[in-house]
Homo-oligomer: A and B are copies of this chain.
Amino acid sequence: MPELRKDPITGRWVIISTERGKRPSDFSREEVEIKGNGFCPFCYGNEAKTPPEILAYRANGGDPNTSGWTVRVVPNKFPALGIEGRLDRQGEGLFDKMNGIGAHEVIVETPEHNKNLADLSEKGIEDVLWAFRDRMLDLKKDRRFRYVLVFKNHGRAAGASLEHTHSQLIALPIVPKEILEQLNGARQYYEYKERCIYCDVIRQELESGTRVIAENEDFVTLSPYAPRFPFETWILPREHESVFENSPTHAFENLAKALKLLLTKTDQVLENPAFNLVLQSAPLQEPSSDYYHWHIEYMPRLTKVAGFEWGSGFYINPTPPEEAAKFLREAEVANPVHA
């Protein structure tokens, strides 16, 4: 018998279709491969082919827009939003619009074309996380922006157009709908219980253990109770904090470990799947809150989203999260935390 489950934060129901029960090998999909042919604007020597860099880490110094960097942030050459101008909110009869003001940046995670994020050292991944933080702190100063969404598209099926490993961020003049729903759900729970719902979820999940994939000193990696997608996975900080960029130094180190472990395990169990990764943090202009809890969501692209999902906002997930968690928990990866 399939099960209907409700995400306790957003109230979104999903269908966990246990009878279709898909194992990792049941999904037909393209494996993501690095082909490495053709010109790449993110490789050393091609720094002039991107817009001028916004940030770069260079351990041994060196001029901007030259080689020698380890992580490099540049404006997206084809930005979804424009950085210059005023919001100019206006109506058009019963419709509402404003200028598409925002920032759209690319975080090149390594100069090495033949590496994926999972292949970087823990220190390499940590640097990428520091770059996210540095950019968020900087963009926060622009009072037009209410939210920065950091995300990663890996593989064509996940929407990536360039194969050289990179993340992106978009700063928005509006708090996006998905975050508003999480904030509202978490706030309502807090008003009722005076506890953070994510903290309660973590506590319950650690007690039951069936959906836990991994843990370290600072982070818990788990399959959520009502995942939209097969093998959807969340990484949550144990310590309550609503704002990613306010995290302590050791959190960056341990998040890098948790992320490397998850990506290594999913690459093994799901055979290098295309995936999306999103950082969910509180809105920019708000102080840390007691009710929201920042986290990372990992979504491999194994199934197609179709008419039912678009028309209902419901999701049909053919893999129960307990099974997904078991596969990932039991995947043995060679010395993953020190690779």
A interface list, Cβ under 8 A from B: 1-6, 8, 11-13, 15-20, 78, 80-82, 85, 92-100, 147, 149, 151-153, 156-160, 168, 170, 172-174, 176-179, 181, 197, 200-201, 204, 208, 225-226, 276-280, 297, 299, 304-308, 310-314, 316
Q: Give the shortest distance, in Å, between A173 (CB) and chain B (any CB).
A: 7
Determine the chain B residues whose CB is within 8 A of the CB of A149 once the complex forms: 308, 311-312
With beta carbons under 8 angstroms apart, the residue of B5, B100, B157, B168 that contacts A95 is B5
Q: How far apart are the CA atoms of A54 and B4 in the complex, in Å?
A: 25
A16 CB to closest chain B CB, in angstroms?
7
Contact B4 A159 (CB under 8 A): no
Whether A307 and B95, one on each chain, are in contact in the complex, defined by CB atoms closer than 8 angstroms, is no
Q: How far is the CA of A157 from the CA of B99 in the complex (A)?
A: 32
Residues B176 and A13 in contact, CB atoms below 8 Å apart: yes
Give how many copies assemble into the complex. Answer: 2
Q: Which residue of B lies closest to A100 (CB)?
A: B2
**Contact status of A172 and B80, CB under 8 A, knowing A97-B4, A151-B307, A278-B307:** no
Contact B276 A307 (CB under 8 A): yes
CB distance from A205 to the nearest CB of B (A): 9
Query: 12 A–B contact pairs at CB < 8 A?
Result: A6-B95, A6-B96, A13-B176, A19-B82, A20-B80, A94-B197, A177-B312, A177-B314, A178-B311, A181-B313, A277-B307, A305-B305
B172 touches A311 (CB 8 A): no
* Complex contact B5–A280 (CB within 8 A): no
CB atoms of B310 and A276 under 8 A apart: yes
In the bound complex, residues from chain B placing their C-beta under 8 Å from that of A176 are 13, 311-314
Which of chain B's residues have a CB closer than 8 A to the CB of A19?
A: 78, 82
Closest to A204 in B: B93
Question: For residue A17, which residues in chain B have a CB less than 8 angstroms away from its CB?
Answer: 80-81, 100
Whether A3 and B100, one on each chain, are in contact in the complex, defined by CB atoms closer than 8 angstroms, is yes
